A and B are shown apart, each in its own frame.
Chain A
Amino acid sequence: MFLEINPLVLPDVGLVFWSSVAFIVLLVVLGKFAWKPIMTAISEREQGIETALAKADQMKAEMATMQGETEALMQKAREERATLIKEAKEQSDKMIADAKEKAKSEYDRIVADAQLAITQQKNAALIDVKNQVGALVVEVSEKILRRELSNKTEQESYIQQLAEGVKLN
């Protein structure tokens, strides 16, 4: 046979047998106790890393949305504060205006009352003065009458004149 020309290319039955045994033993033993746990462990770890990364991304996205939410809340709070301040200011302005109004009306009323009282008192005083003037006039007229009752016509015109003068007042 041509294989027998070179001993190197002639396979020995013994080595074929032992190689097969060695290979099958390795395949079975390592396959069960080495390759299987190693491959599962590696793929599990890879999956773990993958899920961890995905989770981190998800968390990031969640953080971003949460930040957006807080931002919105802050904005809202700021707006509320602004409106509150504005309302308070309006209220206080209104209160001040009301108070002013009230004070003014009170003042007006007091002034009016005072004027009324002054007028009344002035009138009373005038009436008093008028009464006193009347009494004085009567007294004077009496005195005049006692003295100048002789000249009757002249007397009467003079009284008329006096009375007119009194009315004018």
Chain B
Amino acid sequence: MVLRSLKSLLVLAFSLFVILFSNGLFANDSTKTTMEESPAGLHEEKEGSFNVTETILEHIKDDHSWHIIGHTSIPLPVIIYTDKGLEFFSSSKLVNEHHEPVVYQGNYAYKLIDGKLKAVNEAGELDKELSKKVWDFSITKNVASLLISVTILLLLFLSVGSAYKKRGVTSAPKGLQSFMEPIILFVRDEVAKPNIGKKYAKYMPFLLTIFFLILINNFLGLIPFFPGSANVSGNIAFTMTLAVFVFILVNINGNKSYWQHIFWMPGMHWSMKLFLAPIELIGVFTKPISLMIRLFANITAGHILVLSLICLIFIFKTIFASAIAVPFAVFIGLIELLVAFLQAYIFTMLSAMYIGMATEEHHHEEAHH
């Protein structure tokens, strides 16, 4: 009964949400027009008007400073490499006291344009040619968050690893060790063993690292305040890096039959072999690309969804909107918890599957002619 009433409540809330959301779009349009009408009082207008897309993108995107609360944000170190060498400076030098981007004179003149560090000319305008020479290796919000998660992982698993060394093999796991062991066993028994087969042990460190790195970044991304709030696993650069590592691992370990199946499919007519070779070759690249896009899109979509729901309150400028927005945000947040685990699992499982496909021993009798 409780479930049923909850269900009908959800249906009601959802229909209300749909109705109100269409109004929200309308409201969004009206704020845009007001902004266009009065460009002079932009700073004043910003307090009152509200641009949803910009707000959400600002949270999704990487940043050179870490916003904490209100007007407080932590400046992060900027590291850039140009043809004149490495440069280090604080990102606080790139903004004035109103958090507006200003020109910083280093080896070249730098300015933040749309949140990205670019080289500018004397007039403060974007210098596209010069910007191509600027390699930005800054500790951005995402990098800082990544470093936090690396620290957490190191602390967590070094202590678990030493617990195994200290407590020995015969005693039962305890504390953190007993919390992590089922997850490690899950990766081994549900991910590595069924997909890779006998040689699974060789790939366990890679799979465990990739699984826990994605998992912790997914979880940290769900925390809406300081140690979390960055969108690392929803950033295409991060997912691309992981996908490239999977791509390298798969193709380094690919055996003879893997390459044979790509370039010269056994048991087919020669015309079919010619036809299949380019398709299979594309498949080599689409596999890691699908990994990259899947993780990026899932996590980013989750963040956008939660932020959109919260933005409803600011679109309507009424506290009553939170009556709908907050329960929905909580609901989506819970789903995101599931997705955080699920995406880490799927990424790891597909990686294991690709490794398994590349290292599989085929026993073709060549009897099918």
A contacts, CB < 8 Å to B: 7-20, 22-23, 25-27, 29-31, 33-39, 41-42, 44-45, 48
Contacts and interface: CB of A to CB of B under 8 A. Distances in A.
A23 B157 contact: no
Interface in B292-348: 296, 300
B114 A7 contact: yes
B349 interface: no
B57 A13 contact: no
Instruction: Give the interface SS of chain A, mostly helix, strand, loop or mixed.
Output: helix
Given A15-B235, A18-B146, A27-B209, A45 B137 contact: no
Nearest to B293: A9
B62 interface: yes
B311 to A, nearest CB: 17
B161 A15 contact: no
A22 B204 contact: no
Interface stretch (B35-43, B65-73, B238-246, B266-274): B238-246
Top-3 shortest CB links A-B = A34-B161, A11-B237, A15-B237
A7 B56 CA distance: 13
A23 B237 CA distance: 13
A31 B137 CA distance: 26
A14 B137 CA distance: 4
Contacts of B161: 30, 33-38
Contacts of A20: 241, 245
Contacts of A30: 153-154, 157-158, 161, 205, 208-209
Contacts of A25: 150
A19 B208 contact: no
B154 A26 contact: yes
A23 B206 CA distance: 10
Contacts of B136: 12-14
B197 to A, nearest CB: 16
